[in-house]
Amino acid sequence: MSRLKAELGEELEAYFVEKRYELIKQVVSRVLKGRRRLTLSDLLDRVFLHRGLGIPIFLALWWALFRFTFDVSAPLSDAIDMFFGWLGDMAHDGIANPWLASFVADGICAGFGSVLVFIPPIFFLFFGLAILEDSGYLARAAFVMDRALYKLGLHGRSFIPMLLGFGCNIPGVMACRTIEREEDRILTILVNPLMSCSARLPVYVLIGGAVLGAYAAAGVYSMYILGIALAVCMALLFRRVIPYFKGRRSVFIMELPVYTRPTVRGLLRHMYERGVLFLKKAGTIIFSVMVVVWFLATHPWSATAGGEVIENSYVAMLGKALEPLVRPLGFDWRAVAALFFGFLAKEIVVETFGILLGVEEEALTSAIAQIFTPVTGLAFMAFTLIYIPCVATIGVIYRETNSVKWTVFAVVYGLLLAYAVAFVIVSVGHALGYP
Amino acid sequence: MWPVLDLRTRRALAVYGSVIGLAYVIVGLLEVVNAFYTWFLRPGAEEALIALPGLPAGDLFGGFSSLVVGSVLLQAARLWRPGRDEDVAFVLVGSLLAAAFGVLYILVFTANGVSALLAGGEELADWLAGGWLADALRPEIWLFVLALPAAITSWRAARIIIGEEGVEEE
Amino acid sequence: MIRVALIGNPNVGKSLIFNNLTGGRAHVGNWPGKTVEKKVGKCVHKGVEMEIVDLPGVYSLTARSVDELIARDFIVEEKPDVVVDIVDASNLERNLYLTVQLIELEANVVVALNKSDLATDMGYEVDAGELSRLLGVPVVPTVATTKQGMEELKDAIVKAARERRKSPLKIDYGKRAEALIERLEELIRKDPMLSQRYPTRWLAVRLLEGDEDVLRKVRSSAIWHEVAEVIG
């Protein structure tokens, strides 16, 4: 190996770049006359790009974004939930035919409701992101995070897709288009689903609230952190182990736009563009899946007495068939059935539990506490975080990677990793003496 | 490059900025301590360790954020001595961050109120009884109000530096 | 007819200058086999006919992105008579990186120093004459939005096409690297397939940098084994 390469290693390319800039700086210093007046962007960047404060500022703003997304949109979600609940009740009371009543109330209304209840957080998130993006700040955030991301095996441009993934993985995966090198792009796409999308949150809240008691909040936060940590590990792992991903990462040159005041119209447009992707998925897949779940849970009609005796339904048969696979994890047939449908769309996991346990909203928490222990509950939350992204995301992954191989890989590694992590949680929990 | 801003303005900003910054740091520390207590040391405790009205009992990241805002504003101390014009940005951005969180917590307060109204019954009663006050007294809201003069002053100073008003250098 | 290529960073006003030169009429197609747009236009200046090709906006000429490869391949393979590099005067350092790479590529460069008005607004000015002297290529100040400098630019293009000066600018990569570059150049000169097609110093530097596209080109050559030994 040439001594130059041996000495410089990874830094070889940067060495040449630097030498060119050395010359350029000399030229510029002799050619540029007069002093440059400070601009507003210079002033703001003094702080936003500050070596020590830059990243903490971003983390604080990110937290603000999350609070905004979930807490401020909550009343809207509540309202939607109540509305569809009311509608369902009306259907039950108003429609004579029990099958039709069930179909309209538990199938259609519940279906619509469980989907539309996600619209507020998703749109709020994308609105908030639009503020950060249109003002020009997000580019600075990407810039300060770039060095950290680079060390973690990811590309600076992965930053925004990862942020989007916290709302919905679909726009997140699609945003990976801005990454130039195919290897970097595919790696980011593979890792994106580990960003806990908003559809998984209700599962954490339900299970966490039911079995983790006082630690519920910590449990929910830890899922997000776990997702990020796993994304980092997987990125590093894939880079090291899979030959395709080996090789130099492109250096991140980014244009820092001038800071501008966002326009309301621009914000709304951005929010709409990204949110509508979720709506399309919602409108088609989730809704159809809900109807399918309703069908499988209430049929054979006579055996289940119109949905009353769940144990006799097709869902139960499915769950019981899959149960052996998850017994080491401490999950029962209801859990695995919920996971199965969660594969189709994470938004319906909570709803599915409701149906399978045969209880209404209020009693759901205590019912959950019956079938999970704190350890198995935590394992279930982790499983939900990690396993296969929902069908719509899989579709988008296929479209963006243009490869069956990578799409299958994404699904398989997700399943394996989820199982492994859940197993570790259960094993460690049991070893520590928890049930 | 010769600085544009006069020492008197710098010092005013230095003092005001640092004082508010210190306030944010203190609030942040209190919130973090509370959160550690509630989350890790004594989960499910009824009373927070530090029970000041409006101070959240279990908001770790909110406390961290206030620490960040405070740290940025404390940098205003640099303005006490003559130096770079850009340092005004610490007060400017600090107030911006203060505004972001101030507005956020006002929105959260409003959202909680609407949720309580929608839910009715017990939830509403709880909120009317005392929940609303805790939300409304959140320190970051009032610190933001206090920071407004600093925001305005630093913005004016920034405009002078950029050259959009006031002194024109040759 | 002179074949001219327009190149520059994104957002420097390249499209505007293209329109100023060609009168807005262009034939739009795609680069062969790619989804990137290719614009070609014509211009007649003092009796001289020019065909102007608009290359994609790029920050540098590595093998990393499709845009950069298109631009680089065009310059290396098609060998246009003149390459007009549009440089943003208000952002000199970053824009000159591309200029320096073009000079290493031994293209016949004419620099259009655009957005001079913006630089003045920001309180400074660029000494075009000194820049031209240091870089070894003609530098024409332009303000594309008001069409200032367009005539001078066209004059410069015609003159450059006629004279075909090569810039004497050379970047010193440090003693060790330079020694390796010299050895590589010796090897390259032994293979006429390479030495006649590509500038030797440029090829040597890129081999040392590990440019994937260049490595691929040299791999099929007879000198590959010796080259591989040198670069490690």
Contact A132, A244 (CB under 8 A): no
Looking at the domain assignment, is residue B120 inside a domain?
yes
* Sign of CA pseudo-dihedral B60, B61, B66, B70: positive
Looking at the domain assignment, is residue B169 inside a domain?
no
Q: What is the pLDDT of residue A254?
A: 63
Q: Which two tokens stand for residue A148?
A: 């950290």
- B89 in contact with A at a CB cutoff of 8 Å? yes
Reduced DSSP (H G I as helix, E B as strand, rest coil) percent helix, strand, coil of chain C, to 5: 50, 20, 30
Q: What is the pLDDT of residue A139?
A: 85
Q: Do C210 and A248 touch (CB under 8 A)?
A: yes
- CA distance linking residue A122 with residue A271, whole number of Å: 9
Contact B28, B70 (CB under 8 A): yes
In the block, tokens 């595919």 appear at A186
- A42 in contact with C at a CB cutoff of 8 Å? no
Q: Which two tokens stand for residue A3?
A: 């001594």
Looking at the domain assignment, is residue B92 inside a domain?
yes
Alpha carbon distance, N-terminus to C-terminus of chain B: 11
Q: Do C124 and A2 touch (CB under 8 A)?
A: no
Contact A267, A273 (CB under 8 A): no
Q: Contacts of residue B97 in chain A, CB cutoff 8 Å?
A: 57, 60-61
Residue C84, strand partner residues: C6, C110
In the block, tokens 């203190």 appear at B26
Distances (CA, A) of B70 to A129, A168, A318, B91: 24, 33, 56, 10
- CA distance linking residue B159 with residue A363, whole number of Å: 59
Q: Contacts of residue A39 in chain C, CB cutoff 8 Å?
A: 122
| Greater model confidence, B26 or A109 | B26
CA distance A10 to chain C (A): 11
- Please count the other Cβ atoms lying within 10 Å of the Cβ belonging to residue A221: 16
- Please count the other Cβ atoms lying within 10 Å of the Cβ belonging to residue C80: 21
Dump pLDDT digits (tens) for B57-94: 878 899 999 999 999 999 999 888 887 888 899 999 99
Listing DSSP states for A128-191 in one string gives: HHHHHHHTTHHHHHHHHHHHHHHHTT--GGGHHHHHHHTT-HHHHHHGGGG--SHHHHHHHHHH
Q: Which of these, A356, A273, A370, lies nearest to A319 by C-alpha position?
A: A356
Q: Which of these, C35, C205, C175, lies nearest to C106 by C-alpha position?
A: C205
Looking at the domain assignment, is residue B151 inside a domain?
yes
Q: What is the pLDDT of residue A1?
A: 47
- CA distance linking residue B63 with residue B28, whole number of Å: 4
- CA distance linking residue A205 with residue B61, whole number of Å: 18
CA distance A41 to chain C (A): 13
Residue ranges in chain C modelled with pLDDT below 50: none
Q: Is C214 exposed, middle or buried (0-12, 13-18, 19+ CB in 10 A)?
A: buried
Give the range of the structural domain holding residue B36, as residue numbers without chain letter.
7-162
Distances (CA, A) of B36 to A390, B43, C20, C63, C213: 35, 9, 65, 51, 55
Domain boundaries, chain C: 2-163, 175-231
Q: Do C96 and A27 touch (CB under 8 A)?
A: yes
Query: Residues 37..56 of B with a Cβ closer than 8 Å to A: which?
Result: 39-40, 43-44
Listed as own residue / partner, the contacts of A201-206 with beta carbons closer than 8 Å and 24 or more positions apart are A201/A70, A201/A121, A202/A347, A202/A349, A202/A350, A203/A342, A203/A346, A203/A349, A203/A350, A203/A380, A203/A381, A203/A384, A204/A381, A204/A384, A206/A350, A206/A353, A206/A364, A206/A365, A206/A368
Q: Contacts of residue C92 in chain A, CB cutoff 8 Å?
A: 28, 31-32
Alpha carbon distance, N-terminus to C-terminus of chain A: 57
- CA distance linking residue A426 with residue A415, whole number of Å: 16
Q: Contacts of residue C232 in chain A, CB cutoff 8 Å?
A: 1-2, 4-6
Q: What is the pLDDT along chain A (435 residues), one digit of tens a residue?
A: 456 666 666 667 778 888 888 888 888 878 887 666 677 888 898 899 888 899 999 999 989 998 898 889 989 988 988 888 888 888 878 877 777 877 787 777 877 777 788 888 888 988 998 999 889 898 888 888 877 777 777 777 788 888 888 888 888 888 888 777 778 888 889 999 999 888 888 888 888 888 887 777 778 888 988 998 999 889 888 888 887 777 666 556 666 777 888 888 888 988 888 888 777 776 777 777 777 877 887 777 776 666 666 777 787 888 888 888 888 888 888 888 888 888 888 878 887 887 777 666 667 778 888 888 888 889 999 999 998 778 888 888 888 888 889 899 999 999 999 999 999 998 888 888 777
Q: What is the pLDDT of residue B134?
A: 84
- The letter for the amino acid at A203 is V
Tell me the three state secondary structure of residue A306: coil
- A29 in contact with C at a CB cutoff of 8 Å? no
Contact B153, B159 (CB under 8 A): no
If one counts the domains in chain B, the total is 1
Residue of C10, C65, C100 lying closest to A24 (CB–CB): C100
Whether ipTM > 0.90 holds is yes
CA distance A35 to chain C (A): 6
Average pLDDT score over chain B = 86
Looking at the domain assignment, is residue B62 inside a domain?
yes
Q: Which of these, A399, A396, A394, A395, lies nearest to A410 by C-alpha position?
A: A394
Looking at the domain assignment, is residue B153 inside a domain?
yes
Distances (CA, A) of A249 to A239, A304, A384: 10, 57, 31
- Kindly list the partner chains of chain A, i.e. chains with 3 or more CB atom pairs below 8 Å: B, C
- A50 in contact with C at a CB cutoff of 8 Å? no
Q: Do A47 and B90 touch (CB under 8 A)?
A: yes
Dump pLDDT digits (tens) for B40-55: 776 666 667 777 888 8
- The letter for the amino acid at B39 is W
Residue C125, strand partner residues: A33
Listing DSSP states for A225-242 in one string gives: HHHHHHHHHHHHHHHHH-
Distances (CA, A) of B150 to A46, A256, B20, B23, B85: 18, 27, 9, 14, 16
- B118 in contact with A at a CB cutoff of 8 Å? yes
Contact B140, B27 (CB under 8 A): yes
- CATH superfamily of domain region C2-163: P-loop containing nucleotide triphosphate hydrolases (3.40.50.300)
Q: List all residues 6 or more positions away from A255 whose beta carbon is below 8 Å from its beta carbon.
A: A139, C10, C11
Axis-axis angle for helices C150-163, C14-22 (nearest 10): 80
Dump pLDDT digits (tens) for B106-142: 999 999 999 988 887 888 888 888 788 888 889 999 9
* Per CATH, domain C175-231 is 1.10.287.1770: yes
Residue of C125, C171, C177 lying closest to A4 (CB–CB): C177
Q: Which two tokens stand for residue A4?
A: 């130059």
Which runs of consecutive H residues, i.e. helices, occur in C74-174?
Answer: 92-104, 116-121, 128-135, 150-163
Looking at the domain assignment, is residue B2 inside a domain?
no
Looking at the domain assignment, is residue B170 inside a domain?
no
In b/e form, how buried is each residue of A37-58, taking b as 16+ CB within 10 angstroms? Answer: bbebbbbbbbbbebeebbbbbb
Q: Chain A: which residues have CB within 8 Å of chain B?
A: 35-40, 42-44, 46-48, 53, 56-57, 59-61, 63-64, 67-68, 71-75, 78-79, 82, 213-215, 217-218, 221
Q: What is the pLDDT of residue A342?
A: 85
Same fold, C2-163 and C175-231: no
Axis-axis angle for helices C200-209, C175-189 (nearest 10): 120
Q: Which two tokens stand for residue C114?
A: 């655009």
Nearest 5°: phi and psi at A327?
Answer: -60, -35
